[in-house]
Amino acid sequence: MAAMARARGLMSSAVRARCLALCTSSTSSRSTAPAAVRLHHQQQQQVLWGQRRALSTQQEQDPQAGDPMAWTQLQTTAVARGCKNVQDVLSALRGVDASFRVGDETTWGSVDKALQASGLNCEMKLGLAHDILGLDGRLSTVRPASAAVLMHVAKRCTDTPALAVSAQYSLGVLTLEGQGMERDPEAAIKFFGEASKQGHALSMYQLANMFLTGNGIKKDPPKAAQLLKLAVDRGLAQASTTLAEMYRVGHGVPQDNDLSFHYYQDAVDKGDPWAKVGIATMYNSGHGTEQNFDKAFQLNKEAAAEADIPLAHHNLGTHYFLGKGVQQSFEQARKCFEKAAGQGFAHSCFNLANMYMQGRGCEQDLAAARALYERAAHEIPDARELIAKIDQLQNPEQQQDDK
């Protein structure tokens, strides 16, 4: 009991300092590379073919491993699309393995030849590429096989530019991620660049991300900002959000709270839940707009409900903890921090640990606090000091012996 009491005294100021800092600058943990973090999330969301499943170790070792019914399913869908030489197409696709590179004319050439004789129009061929991707997790060669089909569409369907551009974008994503095939950022830059020249907003967005992170190309935040502005002009909501973050912190553009708020609002109007988290930060701080905790709370609540964004859950926890924009409730704060901590958000782990130290919104539990500090320590150096203090509280006799 004495250790518990000392823990409460120890943590009273630490809890307040951490929560207050995060309430007024809720995205501070991303300020060193704000757009890169934001874009990483959106990259995951913008792949055209839906959710992806990881390949098993067995599949990675054996190119033909996986569900044998998957090829049968692909045959059925190819026939349904009107493929005249389905066996030739499938045979060519079976020859594509994880070592395939987009520039490999030998492997791609066999697929190209089979598809030219398939009788499928460009739209059906693009659909076939997405049919193949729909087998992700069932065949280890899904991505390279799909890439081979997409290469055909990109090169042979120039008379239908929209389909060729869509294929180029998809190839960019595949070569950038490299899951199930060799990763090739330089090829991704080429594909995104070609599609961007045709006015493809998502390709501009992805290319901007690469300029921001230096992924396969020299970092160039101003160039990224130029590409994002072009994507914004074409109505891409997440481009507005990223540009808002860049203006908020002055990354690649002059720092400008008014422009930051403008672009956040544009993205909110277009339906991007991440923008709601960003603009809520500005309502919290009063930068670029009048301070309004009620509106900040509501925006974070909407973003958490719409997209389960860890930062939104964390910010809600901070609102509940401080009673800003909502009635104070340590129990509700704990629940919100738990949701974000469950997704690996370090600052929520830290705040939740503080609450277990204090016994606020929960029973005091030093062991639980210590475990949460361990999870937060990779991002928050203060956590290590608090772990040491918990160890000292729990083992005072050992500490005395060490002296």
pLDDT band with cut points at 50, 70 and 90 for residue 396: low
Residue 126: its pLDDT value, please? 94
Q: Does residue 195 contact residue 168 with C-beta atoms inside 8 Å?
A: yes
pLDDT digits (tens, 9 = 90+) for 271-326: 999 999 999 999 999 999 999 999 999 999 999 999 999 999 999 999 999 999 99
Mean pLDDT of 211-240: 96
**Window from 13-22, 42-51, 221-230, 271-280 with minimum mean pLDDT:** 42-51
Confidence class for position 46, pLDDT limits 50, 70, 90: very low
Give the pLDDT score at 101: 73
The average pLDDT across 382-392 equals 93
Q: What single-letter amino acid sits at 98?
A: A
Identify the residue with better confidence: 147 or 57.
Answer: 147
360: pLDDT strictly greater than 90: yes
Which pLDDT belongs to residue 71? 87
**What is the rounded average pLDDT of the residues 89-105?**
79
Output the CA angle 11-14-16, nearest 5 degrees. Answer: 110
Q: Tell me: pLDDT of 53 over 70.
A: no
pLDDT above 60 for 403: no
Instruction: From 23, 13, 19, select the one nearest 286 (Cα to Cα).
Output: 23
State yes or no: pLDDT of 10 exceeds 70.
no
Please state, in angstroms and rounded to a whole number, the distance separating the CA atoms of residues 115 and 299. Answer: 49
Interior angle at CA 166, CA 165 and CA 172, nearest 5: 90
Q: Is the pLDDT at 173 greater than 80, yes or no? A: yes
The per-residue pLDDT for 110 is 87
d(CA 171, CA 364): 52
- pTM of the entire predicted model: 0.79
Task: State the pLDDT at residue 17.
Answer: 42
pLDDT at 38 over 70: no
User: How far is it, in rounded angstroms, from Cα 284 to Cα 22?
Assistant: 10
Q: What is the mean pLDDT of residues 214-229?
A: 95
Q: Work out the pLDDT band at 234, boundaries 50, 70, 90.
A: very high
Predicted confidence at residue 5, as pLDDT, reads 52
Helix, strand, or coil (residue 217): coil
The amino acid present at 107, given as its one-letter code, is T
Residue 7: its pLDDT value, please? 53
| Token pair in block for residue 292 | 């309004």
**195-204 pLDDT, tens digit each:** 999 999 999 9
pLDDT computed for residue 16 by the predictor: 39
Helix 257-269 / helix 273-285 crossing angle, nearest 10 deg? 140
What one-character DSSP code corresponds to residue 329?
Answer: -
Task: Kindly state the average pLDDT of the residues 165-185.
Answer: 87
Q: So what's the pLDDT on residue 142?
A: 86
Q: Alpha helix (H) ranges present in 95-184?
A: 105-116, 122-133, 142-156, 161-177
Q: What rounded mean pLDDT belongs to the chain?
A: 83
Q: Where are the domains of the chain?
A: 34-45+75-219
**Which of the residue ranges 61-70, 98-107, 373-382 has the most confident prediction, judged by mean pLDDT?**
373-382
Instruction: Among 89-93, 265-269, 287-291, 382-386, name the one with the lowest average pLDDT.
Output: 89-93
How high is the pLDDT of residue 341?
96
62-71, 297-306, 328-337: range with lowest mean pLDDT: 62-71
Residue 270 CB partners (closer than 8 Å, separation 6+): 235, 237, 240
- In this prediction, residue 33 has a pLDDT band, given cuts at 50, 70 and 90, of very low
